[in-house]
Structure 1
Amino acid sequence: MSFGKWIGASLGWSFGGPIGAIIGLALGSMVDSFSSGKEEYTSGRTQQGRRPNYRTQQQRRAQTTSGDFEVSLLILASVVIKADGKQDQRELDYVRQQFVSMYGKERANNAFRLFKNISSQKIPLRQVCLQIQQMMDHASRLQLMHFLFGIAKADGMVTADEEKTIYTIAGYLGISSRDYESIKSMFYNSSDNAYKILEIPKSATVEEIKKAYRNMAKKYHPDKVLHLGKEHQKGAEEKFRQVQEAYEQLQKERGF
């Protein structure tokens, strides 16, 4: 599949707003001839009907496509990778590995052609995140956060600058502090991680632990992101597995 056809067929709401502007600028810088890609890009829009305009959808959330999620992740990943003032090759390799795993080599290569041009831009982070918050469902935004921490941890540790950037992104995305700490704890080792993952205090009773587990298992269930396609199930299953492990750890510690 050519680049123009790939991006034309993959995106929904992200054609508009600040994300659309970033994509447009990146496409304009592509080595690939945009004159031929442009026709495919336009036909991709026509084949799926008129694309919703970002400004007209602030009161009605459109369903996020796999492509919308993919582009949002690429843009936010470019911000996180540069948060500590450098682009670590291990983090870049992690992003590529994740994309190959999710989308296959050809689509991953297309994504990275776009990523290189996105990375050279100055990203209006708040505006991008506000568009994502308005247009993307909560479960998908949690999935984005999980990927961002995975990228930051790819070089062995999450630096203070990377954590600060991800925290800022979480705030702009409308992620609660409890959800943020839950996902963050999946990438750190500490004695109270299991409690943080389940979003409960260490003083929680056995019944409160059981209730929290049921709530978190529902929140992080892979079915919540089925609309993103099977390529995103692996990441969702990883979050779900860590919730299960946190609960099993507390079962052993508390003896229930």
Structure 2
Amino acid sequence: MAFTKFGKWIGGGLGWALGGPIGGILGFVFGSMFDSMQSGEYEQKGFTPTQEGDFKVSLLVMIAAIMKADGKILKSELSYVKQFMLRQFGEQESERLLLLLREILRQELNVDEICEQIQENMEYPSRLQLVHFLFGVASSDGEAHAAEAEVLQRMCLHMGIRQSDFESIKAMFIRDTGSAYRILEISPEASDEEVKKAYRKMALKYHPDKVAHLGDEVQHAAKEKFQQLNAAYNEIKQQRGFN
């Protein structure tokens, strides 16, 4: 695999993802170029902020885990992922990501350990954005299937994602009559004041500035998530007739 395509990540765009199970996967992909890190020369010392490369590699590993979950990888799935990557990251970056994804798909993945590494190292708002991306991938064919949602729920459990946050993001992709309320993490019986309070809380949680350190592409995607929150709030306001 052409290492030069990933020089930016390895040279300065990766931090904690160089170690642990994700680092082990990268070691298999890049071979001897990662030998020093796998032999112990790389040592993570305390908590370090998630870098852009950490996030993208984590996303690729989790996408691979979803694609491998049913024991077979379909060309149609890869096509959906390609379109998703192109839409989110642009032509040049999506090409690099897909090259790396194809290599990761060849590896054995211990999903629980990978998720636990992400929980231990990635900030909570970044983990929420990761889950939003994964639901986007799962619904790239037009809908997020129940089996994929179950896989995602297990991943979220091991990533330390609160159930209410999982249900909120899930409701953005699997819509029904109660979706708007689940996005705001409230019940339809909530008072108007409780709705307004919930929106303010969720607006703070999902604000795009929370993931600004992960790069423009990820922040742009976070803005889409924020817009979905606003749409849910506006839907409830329209139903109830308040401003």
TM over 0.5: yes
* Deviates further, 225-234 or 191-200: 225-234
Give TM-score scaled by structure 1 length: 0.85
Match of 1:192 in 2: 178
What displacement does 1:158 show?
Answer: 2.2
The answer to whether the aligner puts 1:253 opposite 2:239 as a matched pair is yes
User: Over aligned residue pairs, what C-alpha RMSD do you find?
Assistant: 2.1
Match of 1:70 in 2: 56
Match of 1:132 in 2: 118
Match of 2:149 in 1: 163
How far apart, in 1, do the equivalents of 2:236 and 2:4 lie? Answer: 50
Match of 1:53 in 2: 43
How far apart, in 1, do the equivalents of 2:88 and 2:144 lie? Answer: 23
What displacement does 1:27 show?
Answer: 1.5
What does 1:108-127 align with in structure 2 at a 5 Å threshold?
A: 108-127=94-113
How far apart, in 2, do the equivalents of 1:112 and 1:85 lie? Answer: 20
Cα deviation, 1:89-139, whole Å, max 9, x if unaligned, reads 343234333433444433322222221111111101111111111110011
Other structure's SS at 1:18 match: helix
Which one has more relative contact order, counting CA pairs under 8 Å at least 6 apart?
1
One-letter code of the match for 2:164?
Answer: R
The answer to whether the aligner puts 1:23 opposite 2:26 as a matched pair is yes
How far apart, in 2, do the equivalents of 1:52 and 1:214 lie? Answer: 42
How far apart, in 2, do the equivalents of 1:83 and 1:160 lie? Answer: 13
1:255–1:95 CA distance, 2 compared to 1 (3 A): same
Give TM-score scaled by structure 2 length: 0.89
- Structure 1's consecutive aligned runs of 4 or more residues displaced over 4 angstroms after TM superposition are none
Judge conservation of contact 2:85–2:94 (CA < 8 Å) in 1: yes
Structure 1 alignment gaps of length 5 or more: 29-33, 46-50
Cα deviation, 1:161-184, whole Å, max 9, x if unaligned, reads 211110000000100000000000
What displacement does 1:4 show?
Answer: 4.8
Size of the alignment, in residue pairs?
Answer: 235
The answer to whether the aligner puts 1:6 opposite 2:14 as a matched pair is no
What does 1:32-51 align with in structure 2 at a 5 Å threshold?
A: 38=33
The answer to whether the aligner puts 1:177 opposite 2:163 as a matched pair is yes
